[in-house]
């Protein structure tokens, strides 16, 4: 067993190095807002938060003051993001104080500063997201019968770390989604280990890093509630109280500097949920953007749209959440995460293109169970962000990472398809597999064609956004079909049967 663990650690190190090199190559390309004053882009937003949190007291971080103009990339993420920004700002001040000199450093674009920012993103990825993926993959090691399990889990980890959406947004466009996604992945790991209180704490930290993780809050809530419901009344209540207390304490600790007054806490909440921006911003592959072609939703009352979208989203999410509550198991939980993430992206208020990352994470964790569908979905999710990536000058990295991911993933699927337990597939299953593959190729060819049209096709003055809009609607149609498919998969999902034979062989 010791030899197997050591070999896994060695192989995981090689995979981590390969995944880090891919991220570093992507980071050599342009970032959001590069050379585009006066606001620049998300790169400048992250840098600005570093100088705000480092130079100003916590009481001013979310307030509009003479030193903190909220119209210039005001902080609009939860406190854990602010603390992370402070840490990065402190390190930056030790290396080169001009990087966080308020306000003289606005729009700084030196190569040394770009190197520092890119390094912080890769380090965060390696410290939080990578280990979470490795832990989740290794956790499944006793499921893999017949196939040399070390090779299997290494291949699975490699494919998972090459999923393009997170790579392109964090290391191309530039953000730190790896932290919130990594904390969520660690929470899923704790769920699998039956450490429900730990899972609640970890997911609360993810929520306190990025409010977009609310997309996945319902599956965590209904899974844990379902686990409590199945216990005898006294035990269930004690477990529920422990989980609830853990969540409350975690939030209090994270929000402590802002709980000194209702005004401070209210201002943070106001910044986290900017309803005034409308039901959607740029061309995003969700229902509201698609419907806006026929019904000009942006002219409607904002409160009406917010209420309607919330009711529809919660009603649709309740389908998979009720199923999870009735029969809580780890497989249904992962599918429910994917379904709720996808439904929130499709129907909720004020969705950004990057919101699809919350659905892409559980799809990444289901690659071993539903390889073709999840590979197809992750590729579609990447192309759905193409207008944003094109704006950032990341068209070539987008195509390159999708091709790399598809090559590794499809090789993994074919390898898995030849496992001993899969060799008894009947002819009907083989035909279905081939049909699914053909549909995927046809679908992704459409994505590639529309993406190329966004870059090279003529722009019509009367319809300047024609090609990005067509791509968004095309992706939206795919996401609706994926939502139906993954719901059906969740309803039929059974607990994984984890054998101990391999564990004994180790």
- 280: helix, coil or strand? strand
Q: Provide the CA 171 distance to its chain's centre, in angstroms.
A: 14
pLDDT for res 504: 39
Q: How far apart are CA 361 and CA 352, in angstroms?
A: 16
Q: Tell me the pTM.
A: 0.93
Q: For residue 214, give Cα distances in angstroms to 180, 264, 341, 431.
A: 11, 22, 9, 39
Q: How far apart are CA 335 and CA 342, in angstroms?
A: 10
| C-alpha gyration radius of the chain | 23
Measured between its terminal Cα atoms, the distance across the chain in Å is 4
Instruction: Record the tokens describing residue 411, joined without a space.
Output: 């090789």
Lowest mean pLDDT among 69-78, 202-211, 345-354, 419-428: 419-428
| Average pLDDT of the chain, as a whole number | 89
In the predicted structure, residue 497 carries a pLDDT above the cut 70? no
- 460: helix, coil or strand? strand
In the predicted structure, residue 107 carries a pLDDT above the cut 80? yes
Cβ(187)–Cβ(218) under 8 Å? no
Cβ(468)–Cβ(387) under 8 Å? yes
pLDDT for res 281: 73
For 497, counting Cβ atoms within 10 Å of its Cβ (0-12 exposed, 13-18 middle, 19+ buried), the class is exposed
In the predicted structure, residue 417 carries a pLDDT above the cut 80? no
Checking 45-49 for CB contacts under 8 A at 24+ apart, the result is: 45/73, 46/85, 46/117, 46/174, 46/175, 46/176, 47/99, 47/100, 47/105, 47/108, 47/113, 47/117, 48/72, 48/73, 48/106, 49/73, 49/75, 49/77, 49/81, 49/82, 49/85, 49/89
Assign 426 a pLDDT band (cuts: 50, 70, 90). low
- 351: helix, coil or strand? strand
pLDDT > 70 fraction of the chain, expressed in percent and rounded:
92
- List CB contacts of 90: < 8 A, sequence separation 6 or more: 54
pLDDT for res 447: 97
DSSP designation for 99: G
pLDDT for res 38: 85
Instruction: Record the tokens describing residue 316, joined without a space.
Output: 């649709």
Helices 466-491 and 302-326: crossing angle, nearest 10°? 30
In the predicted structure, residue 123 carries a pLDDT above the cut 60? yes
Among 134, 131, 129, 155, residue whose Cα is nearest residue 144? 155
Q: In this structure, how many other beta carbons lie within 10 angstroms of the beta carbon of residue 88?
A: 25
Cβ(362)–Cβ(334) under 8 Å? yes
- Per-residue pLDDT tens digits for 291-335: 988 888 877 888 888 899 999 999 999 999 999 999 999 999 999
In the predicted structure, residue 502 carries a pLDDT above the cut 90? no
* Whether residue 38 has a cis bond before it, omega within 30° of 0: yes
- Per-residue pLDDT tens digits for 31-49: 999 988 888 889 999 999 9
Q: For residue 72, give Cα distances in angstroms to 47, 253, 353.
A: 12, 28, 21
pLDDT for res 138: 87
In the predicted structure, residue 505 carries a pLDDT above the cut 60? no
The number of folded domains in the chain is 1
- Per-residue pLDDT tens digits for 215-261: 999 999 999 999 999 999 999 999 999 999 999 999 999 999 999 88
Cβ(335)–Cβ(320) under 8 Å? yes
- 463: helix, coil or strand? strand
pLDDT for res 251: 97
- Tell me how many degrees the CA angle 282-284-287 measures, rounded to the nearest 5: 125
Assign 3 a pLDDT band (cuts: 50, 70, 90). very low
pLDDT for res 1: 47
Q: What is the mean pLDDT of residues 43-58?
A: 95
Assign 501 a pLDDT band (cuts: 50, 70, 90). very low
Residue numbers of the domain that contains 262: 2-505
Instruction: Record the tokens describing residue 67, joined without a space.
Output: 């030193």
Assign 146 a pLDDT band (cuts: 50, 70, 90). very low
Q: Where are the alpha helices (DSSP H) in 163-256?
A: 164-168, 177-192, 196-209, 217-230, 233-255
Q: What is the mean pLDDT of residues 69-91?
A: 95
- Per residue in 19-38, is it b (16+ CB within 10 Å) or e — as a string? bbebbeebbebbbbbbeeee
Q: Give me the count of residues in the chain.
A: 506
Assign 148 a pLDDT band (cuts: 50, 70, 90). low
Instruction: Record the tokens describing residue 358, joined without a space.
Output: 């919350």
Q: What is the mean pLDDT of residues 346-370?
A: 92
Q: How far apart are CA 278 and CA 295, in angstroms?
A: 15
């Amino acid at each position: 067993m010791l030899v197997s663990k050591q070999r896994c650690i060695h192989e995981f190190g090689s995979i981590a190095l390969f995944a880090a090199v891919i991220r570093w190559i992507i980071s050599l390309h342009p970032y959001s807002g590069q050379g585009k004053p006066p606001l620049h882009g998300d790169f400048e937003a992250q840098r600005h938060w570093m100088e705000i949190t480092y130079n100003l007291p916590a009481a001013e971080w979310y307030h509009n003051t003479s030193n903190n103009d909220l119209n210039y990339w005001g902080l609009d993420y939860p406190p854990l993001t602010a603390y992370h920004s402070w840490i990065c700002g402190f390190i930056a001040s030790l290396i080169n104080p001009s990087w966080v000199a308020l306000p003289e450093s606005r729009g700084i674009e030196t190569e040394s500063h770009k190197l520092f920012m890119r390094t912080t993103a890769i380090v965060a990825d390696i410290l939080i997201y990578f280990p979470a993926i490795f832990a989740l993959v290794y956790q499944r090691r006793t499921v893999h019968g017949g196939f040399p399990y070390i090779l299997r889990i290494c291949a699975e980890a490699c494919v998972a770390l090459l999923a393009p959406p997170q790579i392109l947004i964090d290391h191309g466009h530039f953000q730190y989604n790896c932290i919130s996604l990594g904390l969520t992945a660690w929470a899923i790991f704790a769920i699998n280990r039956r450490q429900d209180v730990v899972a609640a704490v970890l997911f609360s930290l993810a929520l306190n890093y990025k409010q977009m993780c609310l997309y996945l809050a319902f599956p965590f809530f209904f899974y844990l509630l379902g686990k409590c419901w199945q216990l005898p009344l006294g035990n269930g209540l004690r477990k529920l109280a422990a989980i609830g207390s853990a969540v409350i304490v975690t939030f209090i600790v994270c929000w402590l500097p802002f709980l000194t007054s209702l005004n401070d806490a209210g201002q943070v909440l106001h910044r986290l949920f900017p309803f005034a921006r409308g039901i959607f911003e740029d061309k995003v592959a969700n229902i509201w953007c698609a419907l806006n072609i026929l019904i000009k939703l942006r002219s409607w009352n904002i409160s009406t749209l917010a209420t309607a979208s919330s009711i529809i989203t919660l009603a649709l999410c309740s389908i998979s959440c009720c199923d999870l509550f009735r029969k809580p198991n780890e497989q249904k939980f992962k599918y429910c995460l994917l379904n709720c993430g996808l439904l929130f992206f499709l129907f909720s208020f004020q969705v950004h293109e990057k919101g699809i990352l919350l659905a892409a994470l559980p799809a990444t964790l289901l690659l071993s169970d539903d390889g073709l569908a999840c590979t197809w979905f992750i590729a579609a999710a990447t192309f759905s962000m193409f207008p944003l990536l094109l704006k950032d000058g990341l068209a070539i990295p987008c195509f390159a990472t999708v091709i790399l991911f598809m090559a590794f993933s499809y090789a993994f699927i074919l390898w898995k398809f030849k496992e001993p337990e899969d060799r008894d597939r009947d002819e009907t299953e083989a035909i279905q597999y081939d049909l699914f593959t053909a549909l995927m190729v046809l679908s992704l060819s459409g994505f590639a064609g529309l993406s190329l049209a966004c870059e090279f096709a003529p722009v019509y003055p009367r319809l300047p956004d024609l090609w990005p809009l067509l791509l968004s609607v095309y992706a939206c149609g795919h996401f609706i079909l994926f939502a139906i498919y993954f719901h059906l998969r969740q309803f039929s999902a059974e607990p994984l049967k984890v054998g101990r034979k391999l564990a004994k062989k180790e």
